[in-house]
Structure 1
């Protein structure tokens, strides 16, 4: 380089080559993460130039895209987005201006990506309008935005629908925000009304002076308050007790923003504690609640049952043969028997239930939060079994029974006195029927109880005699060829006739018969599948439902595998269908059990997909092979656009997650055609076939295995 200064000003001479601008631009464009392009303004956006970034973006090389050599960008663009993208670009072309549009593309390998396209309509060297722009992958950013949006929706839903009051307040005692639950607790019609009206928490809310000051003092010293109990005024002047949990919210630099916390109405608990302080509420011998506390528990239970729509069940228990033991062995032995029975009754109930001793050998149970008669019956059977277990008194073993009467709110009475009276009447009816049994006050409930007990007894006998049959509903692919079957239990009793699964499955679950019933169905289904698959090039998959209650045991995997090994069917020919309810108890344990099934080679299917709220999270947590779209998302899709839209979304989600998508409940050709167009893999429903005995499945397969309609 040579520098030369003259009177006319500085100048410089560069002893280097002239900058190759074309080369720099070409290098820059072809090394960007994304695709630069120029295309014609025609029906398929014919590419004139495409940068080398196309391969990474969509899986097609520049050569394959230019001049429609292999594929058009129109076809790469997702079908549902094409019209929107075209309109956006056409508006830019009309105005000879810029555009920016987000949409989806399908890569050469079938992967769905979100992209952003920025471009401009310009005149080319010949004066023709062309489109030039740049397209880049924003799938990751889109996922983050979607996750943030979902998180915001979940937070808003929790805030709006929480049963606890939620608030934000200032140091000087003003509410900044409140949720509907807090408004209800304080007697306001809306959260906005509460915030506007309750502007002085110290004087308007707390009954006891200085409570707000104590609240703020704890906040300043500890940064939080826990179980801060206070008596407060509601809007109408009535008093309630509340418990607050709150903390200080600070900004990034530690500056105070607000107090934030939750409020619970603890009036019932507080009043209960106060009542305990005023009177002795427990039986001295057994430690159980006495009549006074029993009445209080019944009143609380009635209020809760009326509010939530559950049954409240009162159970009157009178021990059989107690007088014989008490008179023959003495009062000490009688007292020991009462204490033993009291402990057994308490151990049979949940924490929300009550067992009270009301005098002599009489007990009363208060059972809350039942919404099915069958669960009450199951509990009563358990109580009877506990009472009649042998008890050792004075060195000898005795066995007592009980006569039990049952009355239920609201059908048998709406107040404690009426319900206790009717339960007592039912108890005497139990004595007349031979003791050691239970009777409902209502004739219809007695009939239901008798039917349920008879059904359970018949089921036990049918299982012993191997009387349960298995029918199979075919699953077909888009060409209507049978690719699998779902095994379904069927039962015809000699005395009771045909009994539907909706009747015997709940009884099996509640009585502990679900495991032997499932194993019986598995053995029959595996045996039939082994015969069907003998010599088949492509095995026929057999699907079997697993009840969520099977996951309560520790050996479900070993027991299913033992049947499979005994029959001689490979596990990769078996689909195990579950519903999301398996995760509602111990979800971690359920996932571990399913992972073990997966490791053994079974295929796993999520049944009834789309009917619950947690299915999406479990699709993420567990590698399911199949999702079965519930019939509720199929019924009416040919008539209602909203149903069709939801079904389309469910199928798209399944395909995006690389799952086999099965549609249940297909009942007409219009539904079948729609689901085919959306990419559904397999189909099941009455249009194709009702559940059939094994012999008819064998005949269908022998005839070619294609369903015609």
Structure 2
């Protein structure tokens, strides 16, 4: 279709049958095809059809009161329901019933007892037909809308130059409307120059010609047009001519204005006192003004076509080391770049100049870099050195805010003044939530733009006595040197949170951000600048742990948690680097035979005293620090090697490996899995990847592509902790899922909680319906086992059978 239509494409099916059992069976069978509505009599069917307007109606013929034929006729006579496809359902096989079904408006007939598979196929076919009808109608409307509304004159003429069609209904282009134009000859209505081109193409057999024409008598401010003449040829004979016109008046005027502006710009650049050199996006020179000629010693015409490094030779004045030209850096990093301190330019004539400058990429209207420009001038060494060194030593290059060095001086000074004046000083550490993900996804240039916008928004919240500094990639600090009360701190922190929640608009794109803020107050919890920074950092991490998008004050237990976090992170990094990550295996059994058919791989980490650390303490930390990728790779590698060893000993044990949500953001994840399987020499069908429901919700299309690639490797995809997340049936249908794992919380409570029992029953039934394997987690009692077997659950794991164990212990279990 030409346009994007937003009609609701959700399938609607109405099932009408006076037998409750038949009604329930058919509704259950068709439930995944769309929204199903049921009723058990003719009058109610008509009422629901008018309100519901279903795509397909399954209609029983024999019903009390009003039979199916009467219902169908009433539906077909009602404009609101006439388009619904009616499929009759009957136990009669006589030909007269088939005749009456189609005569009354039915489109298909299904005989009882109903074959549910055939029924589903017939309903699906009718739904497809409905969708095709809608698409055809939409396409027809699109074409009509396009021809009527497109800002182009479209006309068709016979080979005798007689008008047969035009879309100018309002006489916008010519004095005649499309209706008045019919039957007119081109010579009588087209401007002379346009007609000459039209006639030339027709008489000389020129199949296509495009030309720009200035109209002698402009209409509706259309002075210039681009005309395209196309001959329509059939069996080597011209049967007609298509003539289209587009208004290029504004474009023509703009070109003239640009030409004038370009000339003014050339004169201005040649007149200013600074040297200017412009290049293309490969740093090849295409312009130099007279000052640049003087400083470099090159004539502009000689310099054109040469690389900037050849013409503008920069060295460090002290070491004489060659410097990279700022314009090269600006083009590479796509940002404004200042010349390195102590820069020295040597001209072609041997003259030496100390210069300062700035270089910037040149972008077109769409933001694409098309070149670069550098503006520089001769300056004295003392001024250049003093200004540059002082500023760069104390300010952030990207935002021009005070950096960590200058902030430390101001915090130290504020603390001294506060001590002598008995005042309070507050320090707020502000960290952008999930900025690393944004930076990796959007690119560093876009990340830099976001940082700049955040800096400007924070600056709008502070007064002249307050210091705003940038101390790291996405970390800012606000220093409040004179705090009257805690409520004042609360107000400022709240303003920061709320202001950051407002969308940022960058390059016509909106971004929603949040920040976590940690607050340290002197002298309440710290007395020195370094201590305030440490405490604010700890408070900020507490804010992140509590859900982000909030602020927290420092407290005594935060220091302990902060140290614990650092300790666990250090242990984790060391274990990964030294290949000391352990993997335990929990057997998975066939419930009827209690035979081991697989294992789940579970990661383990030990502290310095050889005690196991809870996965709840180090896995979230791994995800937050980015170590989850290396951790996951280690577990996958060990699991594949173990499964290969078992297979070589005659035990085809499938190993299930948990995959974290963040691992899916790695574009190379599929290749990593394939390489790991290949290096281990493992048959891919012996590997199962477990993903949580929440991991599937990040980017639907991207996850779908990744799961399909993984499935193509031959391994199995399992949904872990099913029922605790989104539980959307859509991904079970569209994603290549093989296994559902019932979360242990439902299994544990199923004996005492009817709701948990119902959830387990429903998930088991759903898995059977979708031909998925079902695995129950957390089996701890004999009653759990018996109930799951009764419900039809085939596989399970839990402490009733075995706890997770090291590989050596599992090897002994296999015998």
Bucket of the pairwise TM-score, normalised by the shorter protein: 0.3 to 0.5
What is the TM-score of this pair, normalised by structure 2?
Answer: 0.40
